[in-house]
Structure 1
Amino acid sequence: MTRSVYISSVGRGDGRQVVELGVMELLTRLVDRVGVFRPLWHPGADPMLDLLRSRYRLSQSVDDMTGLPYEEAAALQARAGADELVAHLVDRFHAVAADYEAVMVLGTDYVDTNLPGELTVNARLANEMGAVVLPVVGGFGQEAESVVNEVRNAHTAFTSLGCEVIATIANRVDDKHAARAAKELGAHLPEPVYVLPEDPALSAPTVQQVVDELGAEVLLGDPAGLARDCRNFVFGGAMLPTFLPALTEGCLVLTPGDRADLIVGALAAHSAGAPPIAGVLLTLDQRPGEETMNLAARLAPGTPVLAVPGSSFPTAGQLHALRGKLNATNPRKAEIALGLFETHVDTGQLTERISVVRSDRVTPMMFEHELVERARGNRRHVVLPEGTEERVLRAAEVLLRRNVCDLTLLGEETAVRKRAADLGVDLNLLGPDDSGWSAHGTTATARIVDPATSPLRERFAEVYSRLRAHKGVSHELAYDAVVDVSYFGTLMVQEGLADGMVSGAVHSTAATIRPAFEIIKTRPDAAIVSSVFFMCLADRVLVYGDCAVNPDPDAAQLADIAIQSATTAARFGVEPRIAMLSYSTGTSGSGTDVDKVREATELVRSRRPDLLVEGPIQYDAAVEPSVAATKLPGSPVAGQATVLIFPDLNTGNNTYKAVQRSAGAVAVGPVLQGLRKPVNDLSRGALVQDIVNTVAITAIQAQSQAGRPDEDAAASAGAAVRQEIRQEKGGLA
């Protein structure tokens, strides 16, 4: 039977879209086929449904997600009664639910619905649909006592109508009242109560929203600038010396269009990063002259400059009512919402109460969710050398919002902060002199370190010159070498100041992994460093190795790659069944290439008799049961292989790319294996989600390596370095 969750408000303004997004995230971690149903809807665009369809790749059309428009529902209820309305909507629900393992039902929104007894309608629908209920109560602007009363009233209302309430959520509660409200509610209700605070980053409108709401003309600005959050509004009317100190980070400046001094001053302040602003909004239908606009474009490229015909006062009134919206065009807001939900909701507890049976299939989305969840479970610290790269900064925001790991971004501090501000990315970055910072606190944190000025540079030069003395590297040469971000980041990992490193978005593979070979080196149980890709197909995850590092491994190296790949597969929840691939299966072929694979297969069996391995075997016989039944009947691997080992880099690299492009597979990797500590390379064409996945994998690798003797020694060394830096400069670099 389909398991359904009914998310219901009890009034307006509760921001329940955060909860809807969070619950959808939980459901898609568990099962492949998740549906969405909104029983009653308003004509026109539905931003939440569009967001869910886009983010979770739902095949449902909007028509398949909806029941009746509110106007038709009110007319039907008036004409035939509430029973007829409920029956119609429940029939529609069951027609939708038949195709899904779980359905999230979005209750009514209390906005111009013309439905009497709206809460009762929601309760009846939930009961008739057989859905558990998750009430959401808005707490914006209320004291803790008022929030407690509202939640208790909502719980009583739904339970008295026969609903099975699995939890209650109070949303948008002022930070100063959230802890007290949560404590009191926990003592009064039998089910869990979660309290979500108001998040300024979520409630802040974007510049694009300002454009849409005011019908503003965009004089300057690019898409990244229009996506910036307007955290507050600053009105410019004073002279420049008085105006500049009033600027705050992320503010939208409102000023009459004839105040060229304020326009240029605000943009110059942004260019200097003191502070970075969201943009400038010109009023009174005034336009600066051509010279001013040209200067503005050069001062702060991409920063929006808008114009409206109205005066400042009525414009301010319109802006005051604006609040950030979740929609498909702004994925940043979705990540902020999910971070808020996952930080304040016990997702494990809520998942158990929903009681959805986990699917046997593993989809790409489920695999990606699992990576993030595992990384969050024991948060580690990852260094990202490419601190000014757009994709890296956007991925960093996602990682921090989702509490996946702590981060260090390498680069010149002003440049990193300026680039983040230009992109509208909010990382809440710490600087190199912020004292008291440590990884693995309550929430994920990021900091900036500039290798050129960091006090660690001298120590790292000593370490590197000692490690490479046999190659003639002096202290002076090492001092110059370690300013390179790849070397500096690798030394942070080596010295226990970070648990792993991810690079390669703009650097070559050689630039990323050469320092790891020189400094971190291979594990004692690994002969070589190799790589795997996790190939996420529609219904399963396969592991491909080696597709990125070793051009033509010999039999012994191929066996080592197979054993390492099986270990990596098991670490990430893929039961290893190894296929040693060749152009022939079993004893049907001969030749140097086949003999190499045959020898490697025997080496795997002798070294790891516990592993299931078959080879030589062709790809179709490895993954297709019908072919395996003919070519290798009775094999425990043929037809169901999960770890596929290619004989050389040429074959592996081309195969993974062919499967990725022609089968629509999600390729996660390359993931390096065999190093003493995790360092991973990115494709230079990596997308933001690819970077997020790779960082999560790196964090999980670091989790599994924590506690080894070499890790413990490095951690002790790292602690000594941190203490030394604090004494020298008052903070951890």
Structure 2
Amino acid sequence: MSLIESLEEKVKKTRPIIVFPEGNDARVLRASIRLNDKKVIRPILFGNEEEIKALAKKENVEIGDLKILDPETFEKKNEMIDAFVERRKGKVNAEEAGKILKDPNYFGTMYVYMGLADGMVSGACHTTGETVRPALQIIKTKEGIKRTSGAFVLIKDDKMYVMGDCAINTDLDAEGLAEVAVLTEETARKFGLDPRVAMLSFSTHGSAKHERVTMVAEATKLAKGKNPNMLIDGELQFDAAFDKVVAGRKAPDSPLKGESNVFIFPNIEAGNIGYKLIQRFGGYEAIGPILQGLNKPVNDLSRGCVEDEVYSLALVTALESL
């Protein structure tokens, strides 16, 4: 059974409600129709019904009984406005809230916050900031977690790896990097992996001296303190984390033994470039970014995504809601 088939089996028992604010995007439309037809989740597309039906006709697909909700005619609009004003603790009034909620991502996030859906997937035609900002203001992070972070699951045939942070935090100190490691390890477990976490650097166990190397080494210690049961090591160069032979030469005492399956990048530049290199050069499907640490799942697509990636991220979002 493939990873996607495994996810389908897990979520179809309860069929969580997942909303898609970008109903006018062909990739989102086609993926939502597949999800609905296969009865694995209950998708809801946001947008003008006539426009979405016109798009379906253009794409030569049948909408069937797929639910479409137009925010302009939403019957609980006033209730949503009141809830948003309360959630923002007086930072906006009702008139301002009404204008803000015309933004599909704010509307979708509030729809989830109000318990009308189990999760949201957006980002096919919005930036990460446009998707994440409403989630941070409304859904917010779980108690004890200071920040959300973006992980990617990369799959090809029977191979699967999890990587973070590749999308959200531009600057992390050792404490922040340690938190990312702990959350990404938890994400990997949700996918059935037995996580082997590598804290990546341009140095392996002190082979180079630099403040960035010291930061990754310190983050490794802090992560281990947060979760003593984690199998984690760092700092490690990628080859020492991934290749058994290289690991035997560079890091013979590493508990990972060159068999890492969870990779924590030292900064967002390395993470974003790294996952895209693996995706494009290696032919891996990239699912994500998965926004870690939120009270309810709101996940962000890459604007370069394809239909299959929309489908897969919706399954991931449904799994997180269980």
Normalized against structure 2, the TM-score is what? 0.96
The one-letter amino acid paired with 1:404 is V
Task: Give, in angstroms, the shift of residue 522 of structure 1.
Answer: 0.3
Contact 1:536–1:542 (8 Å) recurs in 2: yes
Match of 2:42 in 1: 406
Task: Give, in angstroms, the shift of residue 589 of structure 1.
Answer: 2.2
Match of 1:422 in 2: 58
Matches within 5 A, 1:470-509: 470-471=90-91, 473-509=92-128
- Distance in 2 of aligned mates of 1:694 and 1:498: 16
The one-letter amino acid paired with 1:368 is I
The one-letter amino acid paired with 1:414 is E
Match of 1:640 in 2: 259
- Distance in 2 of aligned mates of 1:664 and 1:535: 10
Match of 2:73 in 1: 453
Q: What SS class does the counterpart of residue 12 from structure 2 fall into?
A: helix
Match of 2:227 in 1: 608
Task: Give, in angstroms, the shift of residue 503 of structure 1.
Answer: 0.7
Which of 390, 399, 421 lines up with 2:26 in the alignment?
390
* Unmatched segments (≥5 aa) in structure 2: none
Contact 1:516–1:679 (8 Å) recurs in 2: yes
The one-letter amino acid paired with 1:691 is V
Which of 238, 247, 260 lines up with 1:628 in the alignment?
247
* Unmatched segments (≥5 aa) in structure 1: 1-28, 30-365, 430-445, 704-733
Contact 2:19–2:44 (8 Å) recurs in 1: yes
Task: Give CA-to-partner distance per residue, 1:358-410, whole Å, 9 cap, x none.
Answer: xxxxxxxx222222222223310000111121111111111012111001111
Which of 87, 93, 114 lines up with 1:467 in the alignment?
87
Q: What SS class does the counterpart of residue 232 from structure 2 fall into?
A: strand
- Distance in 1 of aligned mates of 2:73 and 2:200: 50
Contact 1:457–1:482 (8 Å) recurs in 2: no
Match of 1:378 in 2: 14
- Distance in 2 of aligned mates of 1:608 and 1:469: 34
Task: Give, in angstroms, the shift of residue 658 of structure 1.
Answer: 1.3
Task: Give, in angstroms, the shift of residue 470 of structure 1.
Answer: 4.4
Match of 1:598 in 2: 217
In the alignment, structure 1 residue 682 sits paired with structure 2 residue 301: yes
Alignment: residue pair count: 322
Contact 2:285–2:309 (8 Å) recurs in 1: no
Task: Give, in angstroms, the shift of residue 539 of structure 1.
Answer: 4.5
Contact 1:383–1:502 (8 Å) recurs in 2: yes
Task: Give CA-to-partner distance per residue, 1:95-130, whole Å, 9 cap, x none.
Answer: xxxxxxxxxxxxxxxxxxxxxxxxxxxxxxxxxxxx
Q: What SS class does the counterpart of residue 427 from structure 1 fall into?
A: coil
Normalized against structure 1, the TM-score is what? 0.43
The one-letter amino acid paired with 1:370 is S
Q: What SS class does the counterpart of residue 452 from structure 1 fall into?
A: helix
Which of 153, 170, 187 lines up with 1:551 in the alignment?
170
Matches within 5 A, 1:97-246: none
Task: Give CA-to-partner distance per residue, 1:229-252, whole Å, 9 cap, x none.
Answer: xxxxxxxxxxxxxxxxxxxxxxxx
In the alignment, structure 1 residue 587 sits paired with structure 2 residue 223: no
- Distance in 2 of aligned mates of 1:425 and 1:665: 27
- Flag the structure with more relative contact order, 1 or 2, with Cα contacts below 8 A and sequence separation at least 6: 2
Matches within 5 A, 1:43-82: none
- Distance in 2 of aligned mates of 1:489 and 1:538: 33
The one-letter amino acid paired with 2:36 is L
Task: Give CA-to-partner distance per residue, 1:205-250, whole Å, 9 cap, x none.
Answer: xxxxxxxxxxxxxxxxxxxxxxxxxxxxxxxxxxxxxxxxxxxxxx
Contact 1:579–1:638 (8 Å) recurs in 2: no
The one-letter amino acid paired with 1:525 is G
Match of 1:671 in 2: 290
- Distance in 2 of aligned mates of 1:427 and 1:403: 13
Match of 1:436 in 2: none
Task: Give, in angstroms, the shift of residue 638 of structure 1.
Answer: 3.4
Contact 1:393–1:425 (8 Å) recurs in 2: no
The one-letter amino acid paired with 2:116 is L
Task: Give, in angstroms, the shift of residue 422 of structure 1.
Answer: 3.0
Task: Give, in angstroms, the shift of residue 537 of structure 1.
Answer: 4.0
Match of 1:528 in 2: 147
- Distance in 1 of aligned mates of 2:174 and 2:77: 42
Contact 1:614–1:638 (8 Å) recurs in 2: no
Q: CA RMSD in A?
A: 1.3
Task: Give, in angstroms, the shift of residue 566 of structure 1.
Answer: 0.2
The one-letter amino acid paired with 1:375 is V
Q: What SS class does the counterpart of residue 415 from structure 1 fall into?
A: helix
Q: What SS class does the counterpart of residue 193 from structure 2 fall into?
A: coil
Q: What SS class does the counterpart of residue 580 from structure 1 fall into?
A: strand
The one-letter amino acid paired with 1:555 is A
Q: What SS class does the counterpart of residue 73 from structure 2 fall into?
A: coil
- Distance in 2 of aligned mates of 1:616 and 1:551: 20
Percent same amino acid among aligned pairs? 41
- Distance in 1 of aligned mates of 2:4 and 2:283: 15
Q: What SS class does the counterpart of residue 670 from structure 1 fall into?
A: strand
The one-letter amino acid paired with 2:165 is D
Q: What SS class does the counterpart of residue 551 from structure 1 fall into?
A: coil
Q: Which structure: larger Rg? A: 1
- Distance in 2 of aligned mates of 1:415 and 1:665: 33
Q: 1:480 to 1:545 in 2, by over 3 A?
A: same
- Distance in 2 of aligned mates of 1:384 and 1:586: 45
- Distance in 2 of aligned mates of 1:424 and 1:662: 32
Segments of 4+ moved more than 6 angstroms = none
Task: Give CA-to-partner distance per residue, 1:439-464, whole Å, 9 cap, x none.
Answer: xxxxxxx3121111212211111111
Contact 1:451–1:484 (8 Å) recurs in 2: no
Task: Give CA-to-partner distance per residue, 1:296-324, whole Å, 9 cap, x none.
Answer: xxxxxxxxxxxxxxxxxxxxxxxxxxxxx
The one-letter amino acid paired with 2:270 is T
